[in-house]
Chain A
Amino acid sequence: MRGSTVTTVDGGDCVLVSSTPVPVVADNRPRPGDPLDPDAAISVRGLVKRYGDRTAVDGLDLDIRRGEIFALLGPNGAGKTTTVEVLEGYRTRDGGEVRVLGVDPARGGRRWKADLGIVLQSGAGDSQLSVREVLQARASYYAEPRDPDEVLELVGLTEKAGARGRTLSGGQRRRLDVALGIVGRPRLLFLDEPTTGFDPEARRQFWALIRSLRDLGTTMLLTTHYLDEAEALADRVGVLARGQLAEVAVPTALGGRGTAPAVVSWTEDGVRRTAETTTPTAYVRELAARFPGEVPGLTVARPTLEDVYLKMIGQDLEGASASERGAERAASRSEETSP
């Protein structure tokens, strides 16, 4: 559930976490052999997909609730796009059961497709039509489309309405892809790496768009390489590694992040000091006792999503886990001097 016992303090990379363990995983993840969830927007049991000898998806179990934003993370080749394309009806599966909005994607007809919005990784292709014309044509395939001009407004392409697709920048093209995905008023929106190639400002605008769609009740399945994006948008994230879901959790609890040892940092005698502790609250209380007023430069940080993610997919290129790094830092006591 969104907004559980986790509190995020904005304005820095510092995350304070309550001492109660968050029992997210056990509650939300179906086990192999569980029946399909008829109320879920997406329900998957034992999904298998092979390409020749290679098994791209190897027994995936997943339920995504209606109204939820679910982010699928994973390195290239982990099976993200394959999984999503099976759900979208683009690919056949070699095993398992899948229901998307109550329908088996292998048998989804026009009515079913009208409830989906799909933003493909490859984009929607080239056209000689103007942005508005492309969107009007797409809208005419649906029963209850959104007004194309309103959609242009929503994705911030109003001033490009008369331009042809190929004159758009990379980020603008991607926004057109998103516009095409939502013009049919989907109940379920698939977004496959939607913000690749965006500058930071465009990404923030896109996030705002996704949140406004969530407020309208749209369920979303998002794949992304950007961990900050998953953290900012998703109610839950799933990490896909070697064709299997390594973990499903709310972003702040992924990989035991919420209860992992915290790194406390502060400035003392002009030197930056850090300490790793499983009881940061007690540690900070001690510190507070040592200083007359505010503890200078105090931060308390848990492992970042990136730390736990890299550990989980076994691609921690620096060869050190987050806690090891934290311990090193604590042991060596940085020589960095504050001005």
Chain B
Amino acid sequence: MTAAAPERTALPSFGRVFLTRAGVELKEFFRQRESVVFTLAFPVILLLGLGAVLDYDLGAGVDFPQYFMAGVITAGIVGASLQNMAIHIAAERSDGTLKSLRGTPMPASAYFVGKVVQVLAVAVATIVLLLLVGVLVYGIELPSGTDWLTFAWVSVLGAAACTLLGIVVSTLARNGRSASATVTPIALVLEFVSGVFMPFDQVPGWLQDVAAVFPVKWLAQGLRSVFLPEELAAREPAGSWELGTVALVLGLWCVAGLVLCALTFRWQDREG
């Protein structure tokens, strides 16, 4: 027997709540000095540090900074999505933010829309910053023509897969602090075996096979196709950039991530 509420004001539209959540998430990120330094500045420091120390010649007129652009942008995207989501959602679950939101009429989707906007903003800011430093400090060559299109879809698909994985990892973590301790080494190891910090053909064969299971390797490979000349495709495992496979694997990770999120997501830490 429901006490039907007569003529009450309608709840705000989803669109309005999405906007509020997007604003909240942007402020939450960009006002927190630690996350800005960790996520935005870390790849830039990597680029400046490794760029100053390492001096490869990869042939076809490609020096290390030019090669490293794809890797460091991969690291930037992984930081903005996988690490950012895993650490901050776990923290918000531990400190009661999620539980508190769950008790309001905010639609659950609004929370995730806010997170997606945050990831996109942070990823774009990181990429722009890295391209600026790359051009101004190392004189790297920017992509041209349809490479920009490849750059865009590879980045978006990679960020989406890593965001969903980050949400799953946040749920597996026992609490906010353990999330950081879990996901940071995972991300670093995945980046190492995916050829982010060194040419991928210098990674041992069996590790290449391990890396090929995860999305980071395919994100990095897709981005290499954007920043490296066609000649260097020969140094990839398949002898080509395999953009079709990049799309397929990243797409599959998105689907798997979405299913895992839907199955595992919790608004509170486990009971007891």
**Interface set of A (CB-CB < 8 Å, partner B):** 36, 38, 51, 88-90, 101-103, 110-111, 113-116, 118, 120, 122-129, 133, 137-138, 140-144, 180, 184
Contact = CB atoms under 8 A, between A and B. Distances in A.
Contact of B103 (A118, A126, A128, A137): A118
- Interface range on chain B (Cβ under 8 Å from partner): 35 or more
A90 B17 contact: no
B272 A122 contact: no
Contacts of A89: 103
A102 B2 contact: yes
Given A126-B97, A140-B20, 12 more contacts: A90-B268, A102-B2, A110-B107, A123-B100, A125-B92, A125-B98, A126-B91, A133-B27, A141-B20, A141-B106, A142-B104, A180-B100
Contact of A101 (B3, B12, B100, B272): B3
Contact of B28 (A103, A127, A143, A184): A127
Given A128-B28, A142-B12, A111 B105 contact: yes
B271 interface: yes
Contact of B104 (A36, A101, A103, A113): A113
B16 A140 contact: yes
A128 B32 contact: yes
A124 B104 CA distance: 12
Contacts, number: 96
A38 B96 contact: no
Contacts of B1: 36, 38, 102
A118 B106 CA distance: 14
A140 B12 contact: yes
Given A51-B271, A122-B99, A133-B27, A103 B11 contact: no
29 contacts: A36-B1, A38-B1, A38-B3, A51-B271, A88-B103, A101-B3, A102-B3, A110-B11, A114-B105, A118-B100, A120-B99, A120-B103, A123-B96, A124-B97, A124-B100, A125-B96, A125-B98, A126-B91, A129-B28, A137-B24, A138-B104, A140-B20, A141-B17, A141-B20, A141-B104, A141-B105, A142-B12, A143-B8, A143-B9
Contacts of B23: 137
B60 interface: no
Nearest to B108: A110
A143 B10 contact: yes
Interface of B: 1-3, 5, 8-12, 16-17, 20-21, 23-24, 27-28, 31-32, 91-92, 95-100, 102-107, 268, 271-272
A52 to B, nearest CB: 8
B164 to A, nearest CB: 23
A111 B32 contact: no
Nearest to A54: B272
A113 B107 contact: no
Given A111-B5, A124-B96, A143-B12, A129 B107 contact: no
A223 to B, nearest CB: 15
A141 B99 CA distance: 15
Contacts of A120: 96, 99-100, 103
Nearest to A144: B9
A141 B103 contact: no
The 9 closest A-B pairs by CB, nearest first: A125-B97, A102-B3, A122-B96, A128-B31, A118-B103, A110-B105, A124-B100, A125-B95, A114-B105
A142 B11 contact: yes
Contacts of A124: 96-97, 100
B133 to A, nearest CB: 26
Contacts of B2: 102-103
Contacts of A36: 1
Nearest to A41: B3
Nearest to A112: B105
Contact of B105 (A90, A113, A137): A113
A197 to B, nearest CB: 15
B27 A128 contact: yes
A239 B106 CA distance: 34
A101 B24 CA distance: 31
